[in-house]
Structure 1
Amino acid sequence: MNALAGGGSFVSLPALIAAGVPPVQANASSTVALFPGGIASAWAYRDGLGPVGSVSLRALTIATLCGGFAGAILLLCTSSAAFSFVLPWLLLIATLALAFGRRLGEALRARWHIHGHAVLAVQFALGVYGGYFGGAVGIMMIAMWGLLDSRDLKSLNAPRTLLVSAANAVAVLTFVVAHAVHWPETLAMLVAAIVGGYGGAQIGRRASPVVIRAGTLLATSCITLAFFVRTYAPALLH
């Protein structure tokens, strides 16, 4: 999912919670588990790496790394109860980004153009989101870059994959140092994510975008609804 359209955490995070991992630690473990898959996808897309408009890839990477570290620290400072409360809303934001992010980016691109300094500021904010949760952050990056770069959006997949991995890289280091990772579950998911990350990038070169989009949106919408029911239904029943 991450290699094809984003949203892989919609699968990994609920699976870890269902396995009994507390929500904050499940989110940290999910980030660690999906990280090698993201690196594999970035390697598969390496031929397309380059600047985004007038902004160098190095500057974007630095902004993303700083934001990713801040987001990871913010997650570690969040209690499990607070994260459980906000998680359905994070999933909803990610689902809406997957559903409408590209269309919104195209609509904004037709009306506005932003400068490189503004892109770096937004990239830092997306890095924070990526380090904290990260669902559909790649789609958000592409939508924002569309205001700067007139290239075909598909050609932005390579920098998107690399910078999502950059946010995850600094978050992974932070979570490991903080002992926030549940290793048995994480290692099992990590091995499969490496295969899926590389294989997904290869499938993405050939598969129908319509089929990929429909399948991704169906999965993310159902999971988001399930978490809203899980979190808020008990309170409503009482």
Structure 2
Amino acid sequence: MQWIDAVQMTAAGAAAGAINALVGSGTLVTFPVLLALGYPPVVANASNAVGLVPGSFAAAYGYRAELRSQRHLLLPLAAAVLAGGVTGALLLLILPAEAFRLAVPILIALALLLIVCQPWLVRALNRRATTVTTGPSATGAPVSGDVRGRGGRPAVALIAGVFAAGVYGGYFGAALGVLLLGLLGTLVTADLQQANGLKNILAGAANSVAALVFVVAGVVAWLPALLIGVGAVVGGMLAARYGRRLPAAALRAVIVVVGLTAIVQMVV
């Protein structure tokens, strides 16, 4: 790898780490760069997963204040996303490489759709947060932070949804953060920043277990993974501290352009 490629890879990692901290879908920045440098899709995906792990936890550390009120959810949801991540990573390794090559443009397109729909998800989350904070319960008492609801059904739906998101994250993972944010916003009593902190932990867990599977399988290109990791830590920490000031629309526009470029590159 030439020095200009190394600089490009580190910069892409920093951008992806920042995007993951704020929105999710940083994979749509780093994955096309890996493809452009000549790495096969499965190796690019595995190396990308390994590289983005440190950035996810750096961002989660930046959101540690928001996570304090959600600690009771960490263990069950982490178990669900870890199981899903292992399943998705094994599917990536078991299924033919051609299946992944054909699936990736579709997965990227779905990820871009989630990114475009994110403003609606955020507005829905904010409306729900306002309702559950100020609205009365069925008995007239203030609504608590209990996610179980009547008969425990929402908790089952939440765990099942997080498991499914983990499968997706282990297999590819672009816009996993947006998917998790939508789930948490719908099924958990939390404001947007609390949901985002919890999202960073869960996305990091899914990436971590998938990365472990890829390392054991020996499909990781270590130099780009290391460069992505260094950049992702810096980007994740900076975004957790300062990135809330960036216009969300501009960030989404960049992601959509990068994602469309990746789709064109893989199809052509």
**Aligned twin of 1:17:** 35
**Shift of residue 187 of structure 1?**
1.5
> In the alignment, what sits opposite 1:174?
213
Whether 2:230 is the aligned partner of 1:195: answer no
Q: Does the alignment pair 1:219 with 2:254?
A: yes
Which shifted more, 158-167 or 188-197?
188-197
Q: Structure 1 unaligned segments of length 5 or more: list them.
A: none
Q: State how far apart, in whole Å, the 2-side matches of 1:115 and 1:217 are.
A: 30
Q: Which has the higher Rg, Structure 1 or Structure 2?
A: 2
Task: Look up the match of 1:73.
Answer: 90
How does the TM-score come out when normalised to structure 2?
0.77
| Structure with more helix by fraction | 2
Work out which structure has the larger RCO, using CA pairs closer than 8 Å and 6 or more positions apart in sequence. 2
Secondary structure of 1:49's counterpart equals helix
1:69-108: CA deviation from partner (whole Å, max 9, x where unpaired): 1011111123332222221111111111122145147289
Structure 2 unaligned blocks of 5 or more = 1-18, 132-148
Amino acid at match of 2:164: A
Alignment of 1:79-228 (within 5 A): 79-101=96-118, 103-104=120-121, 106=124, 115-205=154-244, 207-208=245-246, 211=247, 213-228=248-263
Deviations 1:150-183 (A, max 9, x none): 4322221111100100101111111111101011
Residue in 2 that maps onto 1:229: 264
1:130/1:3 CA distance change after superposition, 3 Å:
same
How much has 1:223 moved relative to structure 2?
2.5
User: AA paired with 1:183?
Assistant: W
Whether the 8 Å CA contact 1:52–1:149 is kept in 2: the answer is no
Q: What is the TM-score with the length of structure 1 in the denominator?
A: 0.86
Q: Percent identity?
A: 39
Matched, 1:7 2:25: yes
Count of matched residue positions in the alignment of Structure 1 and Structure 2 = 226
- 1:35 maps to what in 2? 53
What letter is aligned with 2:155? G
Cα RMSD over matched residues? 2.3
- Partner SS state of residue 135, structure 1: coil
- Runs of 4+ in structure 1 deviating by more than 4 angstroms, as ranges, are 50-53, 107-110
Report the more deviating stretch, 43-52 or 8-17. Answer: 43-52
Q: Secondary structure at the match of 1:184?
A: helix
Q: 1:150 & 1:39 partners in 2: Cα distance? A: 23
CA gap of 1:125–1:50, structure 2 versus 1, over 3 A, is farther
